[in-house]
């Protein structure tokens, strides 16, 4: 097994280059918070033709801090969603910013040629507060169907 020492943003391209041609891959990205969800990692690994992603997207960090991140002197969320401040509609209410940011991030993922699964389990803490969403995206329908079966809410009706 090959080892890649260093920050993931710096080693992702070397990792992608080491993957055998035609290999089926799953990248599991579990950052501590949105500051460490580097979009460049996703871009670099997206060069692999058969890669799917499962990403912990920190809803708690987003909900608590997105309005403060509008300040250009703060730069914690720019790595996760480059250029997002320039795309925020001027009439967006503060309360709508987390939803807008998450949807915009998904749009940026789609621009890389991926489809984001409709099944995005929301993980909550003991008090019912949203911690993160487990987001799956792929380029092909088959892995998305498998993910849909795995991630579906067990209490969901058979007739939905």
pTM: 0.87
Q: Please tell me the distance from the alpha carbon of residue 121 to that of residue 132, in angstroms, as a whole number.
A: 8
User: What are the mean pLDDT values of the chain's consecutive 10-residue runs (160 residues total)?
Assistant: 85 91 92 92 94 95 92 90 94 92 97 92 90 92 75 58
Each as own residue / partner, the long-range contacts of residues 14-19 (CB below 8 Å, 24 or more positions apart, any chain) are 15/45, 16/44, 16/45, 16/47, 16/48, 19/48
Nearest one of 84, 88, 80, 85 to 61, comparing CA atoms: 80
Query: Could you tell me which residues are beta bridge partners of residue 116?
Result: 137
As a dihedral over the C-alpha atoms of residue 65, residue 68, residue 73, residue 76, rounded to 10 degrees, the angle is 10
Span 82-101, pLDDT tens digits: 999 999 999 989 899 999 99
CB atoms under 10 Å from CB of 97, counted, come to 18
């Amino acid at each position: 097994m090959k080892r890649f020492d260093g920050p993931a943003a710096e080693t992702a391209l070397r990792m992608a280059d080491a993957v055998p041609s035609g290999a089926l891959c799953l990248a599991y990205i579990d950052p501590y918070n949105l500051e460490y969800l580097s979009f460049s990692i996703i871009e670099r690994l997206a060069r692999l033709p058969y890669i799917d992603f499962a990403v912990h997207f920190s809803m708690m960090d987003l909900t608590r801090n997105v309005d403060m991140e509008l300040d250009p002197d703060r730069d914690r969320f720019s790595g996760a969603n480059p250029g997002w401040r320039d795309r925020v509609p001027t009439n967006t209410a503060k309360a709508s910013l987390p939803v807008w940011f998450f949807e915009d991030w998904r749009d940026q993922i789609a621009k890389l040629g991926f489809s984001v699964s409709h099944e995005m389990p929301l993980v909550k803490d003991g008090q019912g507060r949203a911690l993160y969403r487990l987001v799956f995206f792929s380029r092909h329908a088959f892995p998305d169907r498998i993910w849909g079966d795995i991630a579906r809410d067990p209490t969901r009706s058979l007739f939905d």
